[in-house]
């Protein structure tokens, strides 16, 4: 129903949202130091890792990878903590449009939704960078990384991965 609601193409995977880094180990095969996870999360970064058997097989059945977000937003994290499993996650907008930062910005979708909760802005509404979405980085290959989407945190993410942890970018 998320794909239909957003007009999203079927082969584009959905990420999952968790409330805490510790929960990531249940749903992913983690091949990076815990300190690296703690340096990037919570924050505006989506980490792509190999999925574990614990993750619902109906979520992105066409890939062995999964994107994981732990947003730095108190309401979203509390909501994720209250759920027994991960939440499917996507921006609140029609696919390929700018990301919404407030509930009023996606009111054209309201009639098609079962529930709308206003947990406050998810970013600085005056900042164009906040509308770029999270930086999506693939960490599924040990010792390497690739940027899938530059997003709003590209520079600090790449600095952490290369300078602090010595990971090498995968050549395109």
pTM score over 0.85? yes
First vs last C-alpha separation in the chain: 33
pLDDT of residue 5: 84
What are the phi and psi torsion angles at 87 (to 5°)?
-100, 135
pLDDT of residue 3: 83
- Which value, to the nearest 10 degrees, does the dihedral of the CA atoms of residues 42, 64, 58, 26 take? -40
What are the phi and psi torsion angles at 24 (to 5°)?
-60, -35
CATH value at residue 81 = 3.90.870.10
Domain membership of residue 126 (yes or no) is: no
Which domain range does residue 42 map to?
A: 2-91+133-169
Strands (E), 34-143: 45-51, 65-69, 87-89, 135-138
Domain membership of residue 158 (yes or no) is: yes
Q: Give the whole-angstrom CA distance, residue 21 versus residue 36.
A: 11
Domain membership of residue 111 (yes or no) is: no
Q: Hey, what long-range contacts does 99-107 have (CB within 8 A, 24 or more apart)?
A: 99/130, 99/131, 99/132, 99/133, 101/125, 101/130, 101/131
Structure confidence by residue, pLDDT tens digits, 51-101: 999 999 999 999 999 999 999 989 999 999 999 999 998 887 777 777 888
Answer whether residue 148 shows pLDDT above 80.
Answer: yes
pLDDT of residue 47: 98
Answer whether residue 142 shows pLDDT above 80.
Answer: yes
If you average pLDDT over residues 20-31, what whole number do you get?
97
- Within 10 angstroms of residue 124's Cβ, the number of other Cβ atoms is 12
pLDDT of residue 10: 80
Q: Which of 44-48, 72-76, 129-133 is predicted with the least confidence, judged by mean pLDDT? A: 129-133
Answer whether residue 132 shows pLDDT above 80.
Answer: yes
Domain tally, the chain: 1
The CA-based diameter of the chain, rounded to the nearest angstrom, is: 48
- Which value, to the nearest 10 degrees, does the dihedral of the CA atoms of residues 141, 145, 148, 149 take? 150
pLDDT of residue 6: 81
The alpha carbons of the chain give a radius of gyration, in whole angstroms, of 16
Portion of the chain with pLDDT greater than 70, in percent = 99
Domain membership of residue 150 (yes or no) is: yes
If you average pLDDT over residues 166-172, what whole number do you get?
87
If you average pLDDT over residues 10-21, what whole number do you get?
92
pLDDT of residue 172: 60
Helices (H), the chain: 2-6, 21-27, 34-40, 74-82, 154-159
Answer whether residue 44 shows pLDDT above 90.
Answer: yes
The answer to whether 144 touches 165, Cβ cutoff 8 Å, is no
């Amino acid at each position: 129903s998320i794909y239909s609601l957003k007009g999203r193409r079927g082969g584009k995977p959905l990420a999952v949202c968790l409330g805490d880094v510790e929960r990531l180990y249940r749903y992913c095969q983690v091949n990076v130091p815990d300190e690296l996870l703690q340096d990037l999360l919570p924050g505006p970064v989506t980490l792509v890792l190999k999925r574990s058997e614990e993750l619902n097989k109906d979520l992105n059945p066409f890939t062995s990878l999964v994107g994981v977000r732990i947003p730095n937003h108190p309401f979203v994290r509390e909501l994720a903590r209250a759920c027994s499993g991960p939440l499917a996650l996507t921006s609140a907008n029609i696919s390929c449009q700018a990301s919404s930062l407030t509930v009023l910005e996606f009111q054209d979708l309201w009639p098609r939704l079962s529930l709308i909760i206003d947990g406050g802005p998810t970013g600085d509404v005056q900042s164009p960078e906040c509308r770029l979405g999270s930086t999506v980085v693939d960490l599924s290959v040990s010792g390497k990384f690739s940027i899938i989407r530059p997003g709003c945190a590209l520079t600090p993410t790449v600095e952490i991965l290369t300078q602090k942890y010595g990971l090498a970018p995968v050549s395109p």
